[in-house]
A = this chain, B = another copy of it.
Amino acid sequence: MGDLIDQLRAGLPDDAILTDPDVTTSYANDMASFCPSGAPAVVVLPRTTEQVQHVMRTATVLRVPVVPQGARTGLSGAANASEGCIVLSLTKMDRILEINPVDRVAVVEPGVVNAVLSRAVAEQGLYYPPDPSSWEQCTIGGNIGTGSGGLCCVKYGVTAEYVLGLEVVLADGRLLKTGRRTAKGVAGYDMTRLFVGSEGSLGIVVEATLALKPVPPLQLALAAEFPSVAAACDAVCAIMAGGHVPSLLELMDSTTIRAVNDLANMGLPDSTEALLLAAFDTHDPGADLAALGELCTAAGATQVVPAEDAAESEMLLQARRMSFPALERISSATMIDDVCVPRSALGAMLDGVAGIAEKFGLTIGVCAHAGDGNTHPVVCFDAADPDESRRARESFDEIMALGLELGGTITGEHGVGVLKKEWLARELGPVGVEMQRGIKEVFDPLGILNPGKLF
């Protein structure tokens, strides 16, 4: 331990090394429930690639596990410290190195906050789409580690689709450059994509070249109220089969609607069993919303409310943004599932979740990125009640089982971390796990990079 700190000091400034247990303990967890963590031996906050390389070389020599961290807004325990580890926080490497409107790329350090980058590129007429709910806190490095999504993915895709190239410090401290800054490139295996979603288990991202898009027109939204979740899901299928490309297509179930009403008195009718929010950022969003509204009505919507302007759109989307805070008020604790199913199975998924809530006697509110089939069932429970906590965990697992049955995945955008390790093995199967472990060993033969996560 003394040896570890001494060796770290040889390549890091004093203020980049935190050892006070009161401080280091505050780095032990991300935002997931039910995930064990240990006490870090030390927290390091490097500012340069060379400093990260020094940390990894030290960790390799001393065989100390390293847990990379961004803003710790993750929801799977992937950033949780293990006992005696080095927590490697990338938050001080937060420079935007370049924004290039001709090449439509940004080059950034991993600690840049998502919203900071989004605003910086917007000033140059550019758009970095991935928009996880935590975008005001979460970092690009964390987004890359997790493979984050957001509300815009139904049209613009996920983080992975915007990562062109990376600089990565390997477990032994060597620097690996992957990918490119060109629009296309097929030189060798796609190592860049391998790191996206690898949850810090293969290397430490110290620089990323990101693809940007031109800023689209302002989006215009619509809310549609349905007498049943099934009818709302039918509308989603009709919208997607009809060739529409909304920039947002979200579903809230009645539990969520009532929670939001209780929190903010949004005036949503209590008779509404499901709310669909849609938006277009096209040349003529009003016309696109009208066509979409007709499909909602045909599917049984009792009311369709298109916004007249951007301000009204924002008001409609407020209901969605308040969903998680509203559901979190219902009980002392929540767990957020992240099952993604083929969108044709969305109705079956939500029906199944309602059954699981009933079976376990729990409140489970569902928000969904409906256009992606990505559901977020929020299991509400009393953490002080051991039996209710057990039921919460069991229902959480049963929701993942249902997702796999329906041809889906256990995680659309939140990652595996500690929370879904067993389930990853079920999803991948033994051959898949064997190959993934093989890849892990290529990059991290000593097993010091975020051990105990994923597998």
Contact = CB atoms under 8 A, between A and B. Distances in A.
Interface string A426-455: 011101100110110111000000000010
A131 interface: no
Instruction: Kindly name the residue among A185, A439, A443 whose own CB sees the greatest number of chain B CB atoms within 10 A.
Output: A185
Contact of A188 (B104, B369, B371, B416): B416
A103 B198 CA distance: 26
A305 B185 CA distance: 32
Contact of A431 (B105, B149, B170, B424): B170
A153 interface: yes
A435 B191 contact: yes
Contacts of A340: 180, 182-185
13 contacts: A102-B240, A102-B342, A146-B186, A154-B183, A160-B190, A176-B432, A182-B340, A182-B407, A187-B428, A188-B424, A188-B436, A191-B435, A442-B442
A454 to B, nearest CB: 6
Report the copy number of this chain in the oligomer: 2
A182 B342 contact: yes
Nearest to A213: B245
Given A176-B432, A185-B411, A214-B244, 13 more contacts: A100-B344, A103-B342, A103-B343, A161-B161, A182-B340, A182-B372, A182-B373, A182-B407, A186-B409, A186-B416, A187-B411, A189-B198, A439-B442
Given A189-B439, A342-B103, A374 B184 contact: yes
A181 interface: yes
A343 B183 contact: yes
Q: How large is the interface on A (under 10, 10 to 19, 20 to 34, 35 or more residues)?
A: 35 or more
B431 A442 contact: no
Contacts of A432: 176-178, 188, 191
A101 interface: yes
Given A214-B245, A438-B442, A428 B188 contact: yes
A63 interface: no
Contacts of A435: 170, 176, 191, 442-443
